């Protein structure tokens, strides 16, 4: 019986320790939240005109490829301000934004950023099954 209690205590301790160790670094949280805000605002501005979309027709395959290249170039420029590549951001952002307490804590300390973050569109920006606002 004592072995079971000891094993359960050891497991719980390891679980809690892992949770503390896996908590996002505050500097990482700041970098990724700021990047997500900038990316979300860039994407909002990119599609604001909606020239092709406003007329009810989807862009051609060639136009979509051009747009994809243009968006990736703009995305790379935005992320370079934070010392990140598109691949690094995509790979690590889900981990950072999974720590909702750290993200909310950072945003609560920075009301100006919180307001910009909350103003990002909710569709296609990660809400509803995703990890938060902004580009993923």
Which pLDDT does position 60 carry in this prediction? 87
Q: Which residues contact residue 105 at a Cβ distance below 8 angstroms, ignoring those fewer than 6 apart?
A: none
Structural domain including 105 reads: 24-118
Q: Which residues contact residue 92 at a Cβ distance below 8 angstroms, ignoring those fewer than 6 apart?
A: 28, 32
Q: What is the largest CA-CA distance in the chain?
A: 72
Closest CA to 52 of 63, 66, 43, 42: 63
Which pLDDT does position 37 carry in this prediction? 96
Which DSSP category does 18 fall into? H
Which pLDDT does position 15 carry in this prediction? 47
Give CA–CA dist 71/65, Å, rounded: 10
Which pLDDT does position 57 carry in this prediction? 73
Which pLDDT does position 55 carry in this prediction? 60
Global pTM value: 0.70
The answer to whether residue 111 is domain-embedded is yes
The answer to whether residue 19 is domain-embedded is no
The answer to whether residue 67 is domain-embedded is yes
Which pLDDT does position 108 carry in this prediction? 97
> 10-residue block means of pLDDT along the chain (136 residues)?
51 48 81 95 83 64 92 95 95 94 96 94 52 46
* Gyration radius (Cα) of the chain, Å: 20
Q: Which residues contact residue 116 at a Cβ distance below 8 angstroms, ignoring those fewer than 6 apart?
A: 37, 41
Total of domains in the chain: 1
Give CA–CA dist 123/44, Å, rounded: 11
The answer to whether residue 83 is domain-embedded is yes
């Amino acid at each position: 019986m004592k072995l079971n209690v000891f094993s359960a205590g050891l497991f719980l301790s390891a679980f809690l320790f892992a949770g503390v160790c896996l908590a996002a670094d505050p500097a990482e949280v700041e970098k990724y939240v700021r990047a997500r805000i900038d990316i979300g605002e860039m994407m909002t501005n990119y599609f604001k005109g909606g020239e092709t979309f406003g007329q009810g027709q989807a862009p051609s395959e060639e136009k979509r490829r051009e747009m994809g290249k243009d968006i990736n170039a703009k995305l790379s420029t935005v992320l370079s301000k934070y010392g990140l590549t598109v691949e690094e951001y995509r790979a690590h952002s889900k981990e950072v934004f999974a720590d909702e307490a750290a993200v909310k804590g950072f945003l609560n300390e920075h009301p100006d950023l919180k307001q910009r973050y909350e103003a990002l569109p909710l569709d296609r920006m990660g809400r509803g099954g995703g990890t938060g606002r902004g580009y993923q």
